[in-house]
Amino acid sequence: MSDTPLSFAARGTTRDIEEGGLLAPKFDAAGLIAAVAVDADSGEVLMVAYMNEESLRRTLETGEAWYWSRSRGELWRKGDTSGQVQTVVEMRVDCDQDCLLLRVRVGGDGGCCHTGRRSCFYRRVEAPAEGGLVRLVPA
C-alpha cells in the first residue's frame, strides 16, 4: 500500500458525476455502497456485498476485494477464512456512482457463497399462478 492514501472526488454536478473522469462514490446514509462481484471470465453474478470508504480504498490499493460486513459490523477481506480470495480484474461504477461492479477471479475452491455454493444466486423466484406465497426454486 502507498504512504499517500487514495482520495475520491467530491460529488459535483450531475454532469461531473455522469460524464466526469473522477470517482466520486455516493455512499448511503450508513456510509456504504453496493458492490456486485461477477466472474471475470463468464460474467456469472457471484455475490452482492457492501463497501465503505475504507474497504473501497483497500480494494483499489491491494487488487483484492474488501467489503464491509453489515451483520458483523467489520471490515473483511473476501477469502481470509474460506480461501476464496477475489482478485479484482476490473472495477466499474454505474452512472450515478452509487453501485460498483467488480469483475473478479476467485481463488480457493472458486466459490463465493458462505453456503458452499459457487454463487449466492442459486435460487430462482417464481410467482404463483393465482396468488399465494412466492416460491424459491433451484436455479
Is 28 marked as a binding-site residue? no
Burial of 91 (0-12, 13-18, 19+ CB in 10 A): middle
Tell me: is residue 96 an annotated ligand-binding position.
Answer: yes
Helix/strand/coil percent split, the chain, to 5: 10, 35, 55
> How far apart, in whole angstroms, are the C-alpha atoms of residue 108 and residue 58?
21
Residue 112 annotated as part of some ligand binding site: no
Is 94 assigned a ligand-binding role in the annotation?
yes
* Contact call for residues 136 and 125 (beta carbons, < 8 A): yes
120 annotated as ligand-binding: yes
Task: Tell whether residue 3 is among the known ligand binding residues.
Answer: no
Binding site: residue ranges?
94-96, 98, 113, 120
Binding site for Zn(2+): residue ranges?
95, 113, 120
Binding site for Mg(2+): residue ranges?
94, 96, 98
